[in-house]
C-alpha cells in the first residue's frame, strides 16, 4: 500500500472564530491516487480542500484541532504559496480564470512560483497543450470569452504549470454539459496516470466522481459518514439511494 501524500487527521475548522464547519474530519490520499470527497452543497468539501491548501486563512477560517500532514510532515504556518512550491495546489470551484488575459497568459501565471528556467516552463506549456489540444487552439483568445469547459481546462492547465504533486480539484463538473464533464474527467485521469499526480476531488456529481476515483469519502454536516473503495460505494444501497439518484 503506497504511503499517503496527504493525511488529514481529525480536523476541526471554524470560520470567524465561531462557526464550526468541520467537526473532526479524517482522510488520506495515497501517493498517486484519485480520491473523491463527496457530499451535498454545504457539507464542507471546499472547506476541507482549503484547509489543506491553507487558503482558509484568506476567509477567516482556522483549523482549531487536528493535523494535516504532507508526505508525513505536519503542515503549520506555510503560506499557500509555500505549499504551491512544495507541490500542493488547489483548483478553485467556478474556474477563476483571469478573464482579461489570454488562455496562454493564464497558463503561464501558474508558473509564477517556479525557480527553474524559461525552457522548462516552455516544455511544460507544451505538456499542458498535449493534454488539452483545445487550449492550444484557443491560446491567444481572451480567457473571459472562452467557453465554460475551456475555462475549466485553463484552470486545470494553470495548476499543472506549477508542477504539482497533489491537485485539490474543486467541483470540476460544475455547470458543464455531461459530455464535457466526461471529457474533463478522462483528461484528469490521464494526468494522474501519466504524471503520477495525486488528486483529491470534491464533487457533488457522485456518479461521475466514483467512476474515476479509486476511493471515496462522504461528508455530511462536517463529518465523514462513510468511506470506502469507489466500487464499494457505488454498490452501497444508501449511496445509491441518497447520492446516485437510484434505489
Ligand atoms: P459547496 O458545494 O457549496 O462548495 P461544500 O461541501 O464545499 O459545498 P463548504 O463550502 O465547505 O461546503 O461550506 C461548508 C459550510 O461552511 C457551509 O455551511 C458554508 O455556509 C460555511 N462557510 C463556507 N465558507 C464560509 C466563510 N468564509 N465564512 C463562514 N461560513 C462559511
Instruction: Tell me the pLDDT band of 247, cut-offs 50, 70 and 90.
Output: very low
Locate the ligand 1 atom nearest the alpha carbon of residue 202 and give its number.
Answer: 7
Q: Residue with the nearest Cα to atom 31 of ligand 1?
A: 15
Least confident of 53-57, 58-62, 162-166, 240-244: 240-244
Asked casually if ipTM beats, i.e. exceeds, 0.90, the reply is yes
Task: Give the tens place of pLDDT for each residue, 173-190.
Answer: 998 999 999 999 999 999
Q: Cα–Cα distances in Å, from 56 out to 20, 21, 79, 171, 239?
A: 13, 12, 10, 17, 29
Cell of 233: 460505494
User: Per-residue DSSP letters for 149-174?
Assistant: HHHHHHHHHHHHTT--SEEEEE-TTT
Judge if the beta carbon of residue 1 lies within 6 A of ligand 1. no
Task: Give the tens place of pLDDT for each residue, 55-77.
Answer: 999 999 999 999 999 999 999 99
Locate the ligand 1 atom nearest the alpha carbon of residue 50 and give its number.
Answer: 11
Task: Give the tens place of pLDDT for each residue, 1-44.
Answer: 679 999 999 999 999 999 999 999 999 999 999 999 999 999 99
Give which of 175, 243, 238, 177 is closest to 209, Cα–Cα: 243
Q: How far is the CA of 35 from the centre of ligand 1 (A)?
A: 20
Q: How far is the CA of 47 from the centre of ligand 1 (A)?
A: 6
Tell me the average pLDDT across 199-217: 97
Other CB atoms within 10 Å distance of the CB of residue 19: 10
Amino acid at each position: 500500500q503506497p504511503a499517503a501524500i496527504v493525511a488529514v487527521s481529525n480536523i476541526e475548522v471554524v470560520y470567524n472564530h465561531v462557526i464550526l464547519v468541520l467537526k473532526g474530519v479524517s482522510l488520506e490520499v495515497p501517493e498517486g491516487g484519485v480520491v473523491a470527497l463527496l457530499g451535498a452543497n454545504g457539507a464542507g468539501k471546499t472547506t476541507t480542500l482549503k484547509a489543506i491548501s491553507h487558503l482558509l486563512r484568506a476567509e477567516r477560517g482556522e483549523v482549531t484541532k487536528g493535523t494535516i500532514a504532507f508526505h508525513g510532515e505536519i503542515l503549520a504556518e506555510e503560506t499557500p504559496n509555500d505549499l504551491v512550491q512544495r507541490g500542493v495546489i488547489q483548483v478553485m470551484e467556478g474556474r477563476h480564470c483571469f478573464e482579461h488575459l489570454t488562455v496562454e497568459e493564464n497558463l503561464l501565471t501558474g508558473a509564477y512560483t517556479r525557480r527553474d528556467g524559461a525552457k522548462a516552463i516552455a516544455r511544460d506549456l507544451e505538456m499542458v497543450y498535449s493534454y488539452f489540444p483545445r487550449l492550444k487552439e484557443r491560446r491567444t483568445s481572451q480567457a473571459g470569452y472562452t467557453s465554460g469547459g475551456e475555462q475549466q481546462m485553463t484552470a486545470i492547465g494553470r495548476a499543472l504549470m506549477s508542477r504539482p504533486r497533489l491537485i485539490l480539484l474543486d467541483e470540476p463538473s460544475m455547470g458543464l454539459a455531461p459530455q464535457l464533464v466526461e471529457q474533463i474527467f478522462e483528461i484528469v485521469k490521464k494526468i494522474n496516470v501519466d504524471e503520477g499526480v495525486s488528486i483529491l476531488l470534491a464533487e457533488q456529481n457522485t456518479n461521475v466522481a466514483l467512476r474515476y476515483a479509486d476511493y471515496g469519502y462522504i461528508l455530511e454536516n462536517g463529518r465523514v459518514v462513510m468511506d470506502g473503495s469507489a466500487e464499494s460505494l457505488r454498490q452501497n444501497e444508501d449511496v445509491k439511494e441518497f447520492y446516485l439518484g437510484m434505489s
